[in-house]
Structure 1
Amino acid sequence: MLRILFSPRVLALHLLAIGALVACGLLGRWQLGVFEDSGRPHATRDPAPVAVGDLTRPGRHMTSEAAGRRVTAEGTFDPSRQVLVAERDGGLWLLASLDLGDGTSIPIVRGWVSRADDPAVAVPAGKVTVTGRLQPSEATDSVRRRARQLPQGQVLTVSSAELINVWRGAKLRDGFVVATTQSPPPAVAAKPVNAPPPTEAGGLTWRNLAYAAQWWIFGLFAVFMWWHFVRDILRGRAAEREQEHKPGPEPAAA
């Protein structure tokens, strides 16, 4: 039997079945991966930057469509209105108020520093143009704030409701901008803060899951056909041997 199973003809059948099984398994796994990826959030179209005033209004909540959009803001930083946002990746965010020149201001995350006495903390003077991503105002964590005794000039969240009380007299637009570039650049630049582009929820593509199941079914069918052909070969060989050993008819008596 082993000689039959490893004969050139049957060996080629073995290799063909293994190849078909591996190919169907990999193709099914690929389609399953496409199905899984379709359910994950993915980046949306990233439009060109627009003026921050086009997407925000004082006293109005920023829309969800504006979150993550690239914006530009032109104005001057107020040195008296800068705070440090604590507990940000082991360091601090530099959060300053940018006066837009129309009576309103927008909070700007200028960058990240590891300590409060970093030279980059100094607020740039003069008119600047900031490009960055607009983010919604964070919720105020009053419980954690009461549990922490923060140094003067530090906050835990970038919250418009909290900043109105910290920067008294400022007419703030909702949300804040995470700066990616500033023109002219500051004398000492802080480390940029990562601001991901806007994303949208994915929708599962069930068709790809069906394709994965089909490929795996094809693989099982290949195994069945291999077993079927090998069985027929063994049965045929067994029948041949039985025929060979079958005694012939006895000669007729004279």
Structure 2
Amino acid sequence: MRRPRWIGALVLSLAVAGGFAALGQWQLERAVSTGTVVNSDTETVRPLHEVSQPQQPVLGTEAAQRVEVTGHYVPSGFDILGKRLNDGTSGYWVIGQFAVDSPADTYLAVALGFTTDPALATSTAQGLRSAGSTASETLTGRYLPTEGPVVTDAQKPLIGVTALDGGPLGTTMSVSAFVNQWAEFDASADVYGGYVVSETPTAGTTAIASPMPDQSVQLNWLNIFYAAEWVVFAGFAVYFWYRLVRDAWEREQEEAAEAAGNAPDARVG
């Protein structure tokens, strides 16, 4: 082991082991960082314009944040959605189009309330449309990312239930689909990339369940497994050097024994 070539091999194996250990440390940091809560202050109500901007996607630090925004509802924007779950119960959402005061000409999708009765959902949305109120108010709720549009919403309408515009009833809170349905929305208007679940349900409906996100830290066990693997590889690098040295030593011992056994006896003659 003290021979120069094996000392050099030891330095090389320690360098390899150090690289493996560094990779294990990186995997361990990843396991912790991916399990860290992205937004731990979701329950403090903040102005929507401070949380997100129109025409922008909802980031992880913005999702599930409680927000408030001032503006008014657009009468033609009230409608209903079907196949919505509320604490495990399937039913209908009453939804609306909210025109925010600042920035101007900007709209926001809002989920207003839940009911299991399709007739009640329809009558509530129709009543809100007929009221035609555009009074300014402050909306408070939880800001959530938009849902993707579903093609089957247009292909397989719910039996006996239609949207207020006479088309098939949608099932997803898709902002991209709403901008094509809202009568009061033109090419120059902006829209928020997410929607707000109102904390105060509209009359006749119940509040939509929108609990605070889970704040507990969940470790990524796959990354921890990878980190353990790199530690094993680091140990194997040093063990591999040891086995090479031992094999060389054993080979030399065998060669020396063979040479001693084949040498002529000095006492003969």
Q: Tell whether the structures are fold-level matches, with TM greater than 0.5.
A: yes
Match of 1:61 in 2: 57
Q: Which amino acid aligns with 1:180?
A: E
How many equivalent residue pairs?
A: 164
Match of 2:24 in 1: none
Does the aligned pair in 2 maintain the 1:43–1:197 contact within 8 Å? no
Match of 1:131 in 2: 140
Q: CA deviation at 1:204?
A: 4.1
Residue 75 of structure 1 aligns to a residue whose secondary structure is strand
Q: CA deviation at 1:87?
A: 0.8
Q: CA deviation at 1:41?
A: 8.3
Q: CA deviation at 1:112?
A: 0.7
Output aligned runs, 1:14-163, within 5 Å.
44-89=40-85, 90-101=90-101, 102-118=104-120, 120-121=124-125, 122-123=127-128, 125=133, 126-143=135-152, 145-148=154-157, 151-153=162-164, 154-163=169-178
Q: CA deviation at 1:120?
A: 3.9
Does the aligned pair in 2 maintain the 1:70–1:132 contact within 8 Å? yes
Q: CA deviation at 1:49?
A: 0.7
Q: CA deviation at 1:78?
A: 0.9
Residue 54 of structure 1 aligns to a residue whose secondary structure is helix
Q: CA RMSD for the aligned pairs?
A: 3.0
Q: CA deviation at 1:44?
A: 3.5
Residue 79 of structure 1 aligns to a residue whose secondary structure is strand
Residue 67 of structure 2 aligns to a residue whose secondary structure is strand
Distance, in Å, in 2 between the alignment partners of 1:68 and 1:116 is: 27
Structure 1 residue runs without a partner (length 5+): 1-38, 207-254
Distance, in Å, in 1 between the alignment partners of 2:77 and 2:137 is: 16
Compared CA separation, residues 52 and 165, structure 1 to 2 (3 A): same
Match of 2:195 in 1: 176
Q: Which structure's CA Rg is the greater one?
A: 1
Compared CA separation, residues 162 and 203, structure 1 to 2 (3 A): same
Q: CA deviation at 1:137?
A: 0.1
Q: CA deviation at 1:200?
A: 5.2
Distance, in Å, in 2 between the alignment partners of 1:50 and 1:56 is: 10
Distance, in Å, in 1 between the alignment partners of 2:43 and 2:117 is: 35
TM-score, length basis structure 2: 0.53
Runs of 4+ in 1 over 6 A off after TM superposition: 39-43
Q: State the percentage of identical aligned residues.
A: 19
Does the aligned pair in 1 maintain the 2:39–2:60 contact within 8 Å? no
Does the aligned pair in 2 maintain the 1:140–1:157 contact within 8 Å? yes
Once structures 1 and 2 are overlaid, which stretch shifts more, 43-52 or 191-200? Answer: 43-52
Does the aligned pair in 2 maintain the 1:92–1:116 contact within 8 Å? yes
Once structures 1 and 2 are overlaid, which stretch shifts more, 158-167 or 146-155? Answer: 146-155
Distance, in Å, in 2 between the alignment partners of 1:61 and 1:107 is: 14
Q: CA deviation at 1:152?
A: 3.0
Compared CA separation, residues 83 and 66, structure 1 to 2 (3 A): same
Q: Which amino acid aligns with 1:84?
A: I
Deviations 1:146-169 (CA, angstroms, capped at 9, x unpaired): 233561333111111101111142
Q: CA deviation at 1:42?
A: 11
Distance, in Å, in 1 between the alignment partners of 2:163 and 2:218 is: 47
